[in-house]
Amino acid sequence: MANTEKRGGFGGKVAAILAAAGSAIGLGNIWRFPYITSENGGGAFILIYLVCILFLGLPLLIAEFSVGHNTKKNPIDAFATIKKGWGWLGAMGLISVTLIMGYYFVISGWTLNYTIASAANSIGGDFGAFFTDFTTATWKPLIYTYLFIIANHAIITSGVQGGIEKASKIMMPVLFVILISLAVYSLWLPDGREALVNVFTPDFSKVTGKTFLDAMGQAFFTLSIGMGAMLIYGSYFKDGTKIAGTAISVVSLDTLVALMAAVIIFSAGVENESGMQLAFVAMPKVFSAMPFGNLWAALFFLLLGLAALSSTISMHEAVTSYFVEKRGMSRKHGARLVTLFALILATVASLSLGDWSEYTVAGMNFFALLDNFTAIVMLPLLGILTAVFVGWVWKKQDMKAELTAEGGVDKATYPAIRFLLRYVCPVLVSVVFVFGIASFIKSLNTPAEVETVEAETPEVTLHIMGGSEREDIDIENIERVKLTVVETNNN
Ligand code: PFF
């Protein structure tokens, strides 16, 4: 059954940039980048990350846009049109992006609760307890996640121009205004500039093999590489939209936002916090000490929520386009099916942090499994395969024509992009991938490092975050814990 609905598209160049930047800029920039940076030695990590963005991320983004723009098809048909028998590569991307949606929607839901709770000033004094109580509860996080998924669904069913483009044109400017206000504000904070210098000063002693994997994984994740999201947006670019220029704008905006998010978070002096807590526990705590701090915190979580929404619509759209174009469904029906998948996966992911946390695979709950499997296995793999496809499988003349004629790559730059895609990306990503997997497996088998300190503590509440990754800790039998004193008060 053929679908008779007209294929959608973006109205112009600005819309193309805003939508694609919306996909790129997300939780990856504001929630993930700062904590991965602080875990990996700050400035040293940022340098490696920037190299990955420039030499791996940018050419791959150009490649993905080109495949979409050249074929004007959904991810599966796009690869199969260029080379028969390669539709599976699109399918792999769509499966991965569906898995990502599973946990991404849960965190997106948290941003809603945090925006409301901050505005209402109802978080209370114990930020760690609020986070743990909320995220491990049964219904509350689910309800917020469902609300977020419904908002996402409403945008997708409104169409490419009426939904995605319109939403991006409203959300992205708001996002930038909030981001800039927060950055300016955070630089006024006492010790803000000093904290920043500390974080951005490279500490190469913290660089290990895993640092490279983290940097590369982060570069791919933040640019939405290999998942079909950028491919489908490329397929909606109006004729005459320059692919290389759009990709450079997207990469620049994305990097700027990640760095600004790091500035905001680190100038608050919270570099000692790590993992998921960085944004959700440390930020409200820092803001709480400021005049009108709860409103600034609400603004911060609104920023996180908007960024998440503009990313989730691109994930949803990639999969919806498959059901519409390949399965002949109406947009409404296709979107409903994707929303249903998202609801089911997100429900299991959310419950896996609380009620179902005892069900684990290799020590990981379902939430961590979705995150780690997609970030460590699927993202690099899709990066390698996309580079191989565009660099080796796509007919040389056709690829060159797409890039240089329509794509806006000048004849002098073209060989460099081709070289990066043919040799640098596949080789480098493969090496980092193999070492990264090996060090990840090793980390699963190595017990956590425990330092002991003798201290007299009247009462300590211990919040163990990311419990799934710490299956080596036997909570019942903890005798001593290491306390890092981050702040002291004078009495
Ligand atoms: N790039 C988004 C972020 O940084 O949060 C995440 C993302 C969006 C990944 C779209 C994959 C995707 F298809």
Mean pLDDT on 473-479:
58
For 49, 84, 192, 334, 353, the CA distances from 211, given in Å and listed in that order, are 9, 37, 26, 39, 26
Question: How far, in Å, from the CA of 338 to the mean position of ligand 1?
Answer: 17
Report the mean per-residue pLDDT for the chain.
87
Mean pLDDT on 15-25:
96
- DSSP code of residue 272: T
Which mutation among 31, 100, 106, 214 tests ligand 1's pocket best, with the greatest number of atoms within 8 A of CB?
A: 100
**For residue 192, pLDDT beyond 90:** no
- State the closest ligand 1 atom to the C-alpha of 222, by its place in the atom list counted from 1: 4
Q: Ligand 1 in contact with 314 (CB < 6 A)?
A: yes
**For residue 300, pLDDT beyond 80:** yes
For 131, 224, 253, 282, 348, the CA distances from 276, given in Å and listed in that order, are 10, 20, 24, 10, 19
- State the closest ligand 1 atom to the C-alpha of 228, by its place in the atom list counted from 1: 13
**For residue 136, pLDDT beyond 80:** yes
**For residue 284, pLDDT beyond 60:** yes
Percent of the chain with pLDDT over 70: 88
CB 343 within 8 A of CB 320: no
More confident residue, 310 or 204: 310
- Which of 334-343, 402-411, 442-451 tops mean pLDDT? 334-343
Residue 292 pLDDT level (bands cut at 50, 70, 90): confident
- Which of 96-110, 403-417, 441-455 tops mean pLDDT? 96-110
Percent of the chain with pLDDT over 90: 64
* Nearest-CA residue for atom 12 of ligand 1: 224
Residue 460 pLDDT level (bands cut at 50, 70, 90): low
**For residue 271, pLDDT beyond 80:** no
Q: CA 351 to CA 370: how far, in whole Å? A: 13
Question: How far, in Å, from the CA of 221 to the mean position of ligand 1?
Answer: 6
Q: Which residues of 260-297 are buried (b: 16+ CB within 10 A; e: fewer)?
A: bbbbbbbbbbbbebbebbbbbbbbbbbbbebeebbebb
Residue 471 has a pLDDT of 52
**For residue 274, pLDDT beyond 80:** no
**For residue 403, pLDDT beyond 60:** yes
Residue 477 pLDDT level (bands cut at 50, 70, 90): low
Per-residue pLDDT of 349-400, as tens digits, reads 999 999 999 999 888 999 999 998 998 899 999 999 999 999 999 999 999 9
**For residue 485, pLDDT beyond 50:** no
Least-confidence region, from 133-142, 261-270, 342-351: 261-270
**End-to-end alpha-carbon separation of the chain, Å?**
75
Residue 150 has a pLDDT of 98
Question: How far, in Å, from the CA of 461 to the mean position of ligand 1?
Answer: 35
Q: CA 21 to CA 417: how far, in whole Å? A: 21
Mean pLDDT on 295-308:
93
Q: Ligand 1 in contact with 304 (CB < 6 A)?
A: no
Mean pLDDT on 191-206:
78
**For residue 120, pLDDT beyond 60:** yes
Mean pLDDT on 17-28:
96
Least-confidence region, from 40-54, 102-116, 191-205, 247-261: 191-205
pTM: 0.88
Least-confidence region, from 246-250, 335-339, 412-416, 445-449: 445-449
Residue 454 has a pLDDT of 53
Q: Ligand 1 in contact with 100 (CB < 6 A)?
A: yes
Question: How far, in Å, from the CA of 280 to the mean position of ligand 1?
Answer: 19
How many other CB atoms are found less than 10 A from the CB of residue 456?
A: 4
Pick from 281, 346, 336: nearest CA to 118: 281
Residue 164 has a pLDDT of 95
Any residues with CB less than 8 A from the CB of 361 and at least 6 apart, and which? 369
* Encoded tokens for 291: 């005049």
* Nearest-CA residue for atom 7 of ligand 1: 224
**For residue 470, pLDDT beyond 60:** no
* Encoded tokens for 353: 């942090």
State the DSSP string of 348-365: HHHHTTTTTTT--BTTB-
* Encoded tokens for 437: 């997997």
**For residue 479, pLDDT beyond 60:** no
More confident residue, 230 or 362: 230
For 191, 219, 336, the CA distances from 213, given in Å and listed in that order, are 32, 10, 36
Q: Ligand 1 in contact with 277 (CB < 6 A)?
A: no
- DSSP code of residue 238: P
Q: CA 86 to CA 168: how far, in whole Å? A: 31
Q: Ligand 1 in contact with 233 (CB < 6 A)?
A: no
Question: How far, in Å, from the CA of 457 to the mean position of ligand 1?
Answer: 43
Q: Ligand 1 in contact with 19 (CB < 6 A)?
A: no
Least-confidence region, from 245-249, 405-409, 411-415, 417-421: 405-409
Residue 459 has a pLDDT of 52
Question: How far, in Å, from the CA of 94 to the mean position of ligand 1?
Answer: 12
- State the closest ligand 1 atom to the C-alpha of 311, by its place in the atom list counted from 1: 8
Which mutation among 37, 218, 227 tests ligand 1's pocket best, with the greatest number of atoms within 8 A of CB?
A: 227
Tokens 């959300």, residue located: 171
- Greatest CA separation for the chain: 75
For residue 460, give the H/E element and its range.
none
Paired with 202 in beta bridges are 42
* Encoded tokens for 304: 């996180």
Question: How far, in Å, from the CA of 29 to the mean position of ligand 1?
Answer: 9
